[in-house]
Amino acid sequence: MQASAFFNSSSGDRVYKAEDFAAYFASFIGNGVFPNPSDNLQVMGDGSMAVTVHPGKAWIIGYIYQNTIGQPLTLSHADGVFQRIDRVVVRWSLADRDISLQIKTGSPSPLPAPPDVRRDADVYELALADVLIPIAATGVTQGNITDLRQNSEVCGIVKGTVEEIDTTTLFNQFEEWFTEWFESIKEILDENVAATLLAMIEKKQDMITTSGILKGDGDGNITSALPDVDFVSPATAAKVYRTSLTLYVNSTTGSDTNDGTASARAFRTSARLAEELNKYDIYLQTLSVNFAAGNYDALPTIRTKNFYNCSINGTGVAGEVSMDSLVFYNITGRLSLYRIATKKVSFVSCDNVSMNGFRINGMDKSGIGVQCECSNVDIAATTIDNCSSAIQAGRGALVISRSVTGSGNTYGLMASSGIILKSGTQPGGTTAETKSTGGQIFA
């Protein structure tokens, strides 16, 4: 069939419907939110159980949406046992003949995931943000909100009608994340402990050699080196990746000759993934890495990165992705790790790390399950078995251990010059916990 539009009507022989105009506009204007100003339809938290969506415009399959004032949206009450993730969307509805802001409430879970966006003949949604609802929370802050507007898989930016994109607001959450973390721990620490932590931060030094990270005894003396960390000299000029990026790895169907940007074009090995990630020093927008179920070699060191928000994800069931080990060195920004089985994980000079749903088995008690040096790490809903130490907080490390289980370890918790804050269950050991060279463990 041939079709054309639009022509003047003669005696009613040219009649057009709204969908005809929508199809016309959709042919050259892509779906998404408009990029200018940078806070267009940004979702903001204020500490209450509500969020506000800034004024702005969106475009969905040829239809325009405009919000002219800040629009408040109320969140459902938090669950008392598990956290959940809600999703704020702009929804086009054919039945309602309308486009509106909606909150899709997630399901409470020890491994929460946001609701999927719906896209069919009747409904089309753009996801603006995910909102983490902590256990028994009475409010959410900006640190609980993950901005999805730049994520082309669930939202994206309208292209073809503007010449430039204002990205200044993308960096506003960095300070909010740090502030929220500090507020969450400062009341736990008494004056002496807070002073100790401050001294650790002030004395934090980069003690790097070609063979590894040097560990001290707390008095400036070098005692040993952290092995299995490979280093290269940093480039003189930082390499910046400016758009959101999702990469896929599949040990069964993938190929290292692929570009990794879709599940059908997944990498095959973790080494190929590390090679790709290490091409850039700074990622200005969301970076997601998705591993399909399977067995993988050790992930080579991910080093010297500045992440806006990076997540490395196993499949939906803990333990389906198995990897020999993971090492992260000198990571700035937010790094989130989910649902991977491994022998050990090491963090060196990492600012803001969360681990959730891991299964760690050291097999012969010869290694440390989670080893942290000069890093801030939050470990939750994780099982650690058969390690020399299930969790070790070394020099300059602050580790939060929440609802972690495990058995067969020599030590459950080891604070060697670092601080461990524990809540809920903790990994078991022949010795439940031990402290050395000024390390502290607090409930």
Q: What is the CATH number of the domain that holds 48?
A: 2.60.520
Backbone angles phi, psi at 26, to 5 degrees: -65, -20
What share of the chain in percent tops pLDDT 70? 79
- In order, the DSSP letters of 191-217 are HHHHHHHHHHHHH----EETTEEEEE-
Residues 230 and 81 in one domain: no
Residues 133 and 269 in one domain: no
Residues 258 and 371 in one domain: yes
Residues 145 and 205 in one domain: no
Task: Please give the residue range of the domain that contains residue 339.
Answer: 191-442
Average pLDDT over residues 216-242: 50
Statement: residue 368 has pLDDT above 60: yes
In a domain, 17, yes or no: no
More confident site: 235 or 116: 116
Residues 249 and 294 in one domain: yes
In a domain, 142, yes or no: yes
More confident site: 290 or 208: 290
Average pLDDT over residues 9-35: 74
Residues 396, 374: contact at Cβ < 8 Å? yes
Residues 212 and 321 in one domain: yes
How confident is the model at residue 162, as a pLDDT? 41
How confident is the model at residue 302, as a pLDDT? 84
Average pLDDT over residues 376-403: 92
Residues 84 and 148 in one domain: yes
Of 21-30, 140-149, 174-183, 277-286, minimum mean pLDDT range: 174-183
In a domain, 205, yes or no: yes
Average pLDDT over residues 423-433: 92
More confident site: 100 or 156: 100
The model's pLDDT over 140-195, given as tens digits with 9 standing for 90+, comes to 888 888 888 888 888 888 765 444 444 445 445 555 655 665 565 555 555 555 55
Q: What's the chain's average pLDDT?
A: 80
- In order, the DSSP letters of 280-293 are -SEEEEEEEEEEPS
Statement: residue 64 has pLDDT above 50: yes
Backbone angles phi, psi at 411, to 5 degrees: -125, 135
Residue ending a domain, choose from 126, 152, 167: 167
Residues 111 and 209 in one domain: no
In a domain, 352, yes or no: yes
Of 159-173, 333-347, 388-402, 412-426, minimum mean pLDDT range: 159-173
How confident is the model at residue 229, as a pLDDT? 41
How confident is the model at residue 242, as a pLDDT? 73
Residues 261 and 131 in one domain: no
The band of 346, judged by pLDDT with boundaries at 50, 70 and 90, is very high
How confident is the model at residue 333, as a pLDDT? 83
- The residues facing 296 across adjacent strands are 323
Residue ending a domain, choose from 115, 134, 167: 167
Residues 146 and 226 in one domain: no
pTM: 0.51
The model's pLDDT over 288-338, given as tens digits with 9 standing for 90+, comes to 899 988 899 888 888 777 887 888 988 755 557 888 889 998 888 888 898
Residue 405, burial from CB neighbour count under 10 angstroms (0-12, 13-18, 19+): middle
Statement: residue 204 has pLDDT above 70: no
The band of 25, judged by pLDDT with boundaries at 50, 70 and 90, is low
Residues 314 and 427 in one domain: yes
Residue ending a domain, choose from 123, 152, 167: 167
How confident is the model at residue 101, as a pLDDT? 95
How confident is the model at residue 102, as a pLDDT? 95
More confident site: 328 or 197: 328
Residues 141 and 282 in one domain: no
The band of 393, judged by pLDDT with boundaries at 50, 70 and 90, is very high
How confident is the model at residue 377, as a pLDDT? 94
How confident is the model at residue 221, as a pLDDT? 46
In a domain, 63, yes or no: yes
Average pLDDT over residues 338-362: 90
For Cα atoms 354, 76, 71, give the angle at the middle one, nearest 5 degrees.
95
CB atoms within 10 A of CB 203: 12
In a domain, 357, yes or no: yes
Q: How far apart are CA 31 and CA 70, in angstroms?
A: 22
Average pLDDT over residues 1-16: 74
How confident is the model at residue 73, as a pLDDT? 94
Residues 429, 411: contact at Cβ < 8 Å? yes
HEC-encoded secondary structure of 317-343: CCCCEEEEEEEEEEEEEEEEEECCEEE
User: What Å distances lie between residue 421 and 206, 230, 343, CA to CA?
Assistant: 24, 30, 23
Count up the domains in the chain and report the number.
2
In a domain, 82, yes or no: yes
In a domain, 407, yes or no: yes
Statement: residue 90 has pLDDT above 60: yes
How confident is the model at residue 191, as a pLDDT? 55
